[in-house]
């Protein structure tokens, strides 16, 4: 470590070459912005698809169907599913999307029975505007997720049209669940009559089981119950269902990891180049410091600390801007009605700052080593 007085010396060296330092910081900030955005995407994928020990929800879908428009199940399956051992609660859901492909601007409507909504979703939702009572009173009312409402600039009292469905915005809700942030919850019978022109057809059933240890058992029992039916089912845990349906998004986000690694390489090269140029410009200055009693190891530490300062300044700027853009932009990618929300988790902050320091350290090692090995006489003869 450096004493505070020597840290001040390194800081003054950064300020002496302001143009070079500012350009270096700007380049590092740009690369770290990209790196943090990639990390946020990875964090969103993990949040939406990583199965935990507390998961107790199953999704019952039509067998060999993927887009919600192709999954059509009779609503009376609800009674047969509810009668199976281990089933705690069953909610029929009608899903309508304006685009089944992967996109950044997909509107997803989920029709649920009003009487089951609070018991199945109420504990995960925070009402930001409007009320559930207003939603219950109007058959065409919708509760919009915060992400969807912000992206489309909607507020309570507005009328909203998408995918051939026109709704009245009765409330805006916030949720920690990724699939609640980018949807509009409407009455099941309203959505059935609007889309199918008749009642009795749903897209899926959301099934709560008694405990996490019964997920696989109940899922197999449901599929066995309807194996020979006209509409056979395919049941999976909710997170596994999202991972399967959002496979294209996961592959896209997986590719972005290479972009993140490229950004780190750019940071390393940029800071390293800046430090090499800086050290070459100060060869005689370092010789003077050595004659004044500065040891080779101390000079090396000054150079490394200067490199860390540049990396940390650029990294902090890029990280803060990236997190702010992700927070206020409410970005998410949706495929087949299922969303991956790009969330700037605390781990993104930590990763951004830690990587900035480590890369600044790595970038300063080579020029510091070169400077520490240069003899005083050679340094004074340098042009």
Residue 237 lies in a domain: no
Residue where a domain terminates, one of 206, 231, 256: 231
Q: What is the pLDDT of residues 120-179, one digit of tens each?
A: 776 778 889 998 889 999 999 999 988 888 888 899 999 989 888 999 999 999 887 777
Tokens matching residue 340 = 């991956």
Model confidence pLDDT, tens digit, residues 60-119: 999 988 788 889 999 999 999 999 999 998 999 999 988 777 677 788 899 999 887 877
pLDDT of 126: 85
Domain containing 68: what range? 64-231
Q: Is residue 26 located within the same domain as residue 68?
A: no
Grouping H, G, I as helix, E, B as strand and the rest as coil, residue 268 is: helix
Q: Based on the domain organization, do 128 and 180 belong to the same domain?
A: yes
Q: What is the pLDDT at residue 174?
A: 87
The tens digit of pLDDT for each residue in 231-273 reads 999 998 887 777 776 666 777 777 777 888 887 788 778 787 7
Tell me how far apart the alpha carbons of residues 290 and 379 are, in angstroms, rounded to a whole number: 10
Return left, alpha or beta for 19; rule: phi > 0 is left, psi -120 to 50 is alpha, else beta.
alpha
pLDDT at 199 over 50: yes
Phi then psi for residue 92, to 5 deg, are -75, 140
Q: Are 85 and 206 part of one and the same domain?
A: yes
Domain check: are 81 and 189 in the same one? yes
Question: Do 100 and 192 fall within a single domain?
Answer: yes
Do 100 and 206 belong together in one domain? yes
Write out pLDDT tens, residues 276-328.
777 666 666 656 666 666 677 777 788 788 888 888 888 889 888 988 888 78
pTM of full prediction above 0.85 = no
């Amino acid at each position: 470590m450096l004493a505070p007085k020597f840290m001040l010396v390194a800081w003054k060296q950064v300020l002496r070459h302001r143009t070079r330092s500012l350009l270096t910081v700007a380049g590092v900030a740009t690369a770290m912005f990209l790196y943090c955005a990639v990390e946020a995407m990875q964090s969103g994928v993990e949040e939406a698809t990583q199965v935990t020990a507390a998961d107790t929800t199953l999704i019952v879908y039509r067998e060999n169907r993927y887009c919600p428009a192709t999954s059509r199940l009779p609503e009376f399956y609800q009674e047969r599913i509810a009668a199976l051992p281990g089933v705690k609660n069953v909610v029929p859901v009608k899903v309508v999307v304006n685009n089944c492909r992967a996109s950044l601007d997909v509107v997803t409507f989920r029709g649920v029975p009003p009487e089951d909504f609070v018991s199945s979703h109420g504990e995960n939702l925070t009402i930001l505007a409007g009320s559930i009572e207003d939603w219950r009173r109007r058959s065409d009312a919708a509760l919009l997720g915060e992400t969807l409402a912000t992206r489309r600039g909607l507020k309570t009292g507005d009328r909203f049209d998408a995918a051939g469905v026109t709704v009245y915005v009765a409330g805006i809700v916030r949720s920690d669940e990724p699939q609640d942030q980018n949807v509009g919850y409407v009455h099941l019978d309203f959505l059935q009559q609007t889309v199918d022109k008749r009642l009795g057809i749903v897209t899926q059933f959301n099934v709560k089981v008694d405990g996490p240890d019964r997920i696989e058992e109940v899922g197999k029992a449901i599929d066995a119950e309807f194996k020979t039916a006209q509409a056979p089912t395919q049941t999976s845990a909710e997170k596994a269902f999202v991972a399967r349906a959002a496979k294209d998004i996961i592959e896209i986000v997986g590719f972005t990891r290479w972009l993140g690694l490229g950004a780190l390489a750019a940071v390393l090269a940029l800071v390293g180049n800046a430090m090499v140029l800086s050290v070459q410009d100060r060869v005689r200055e370092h010789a003077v410091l050595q004659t004044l009693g500065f040891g080779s190891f101390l000079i090396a530490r000054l150079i490394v600390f200067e490199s860390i300062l540049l990396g940390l300044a650029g990294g902090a700027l890029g990280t803060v801007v990236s997190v702010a853009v992700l927070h206020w932009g409410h970005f998410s990618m949706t495929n087949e009605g299922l969303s991956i929300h790009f969330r700037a988790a605390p781990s993104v902050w930590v990763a951004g700052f830690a990587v900035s320091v480590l890369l600044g350290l790595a970038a300063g090692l080579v020029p510091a080593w070169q400077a520490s090995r240069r003899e005083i006489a050679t340094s004074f003869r340098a042009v």
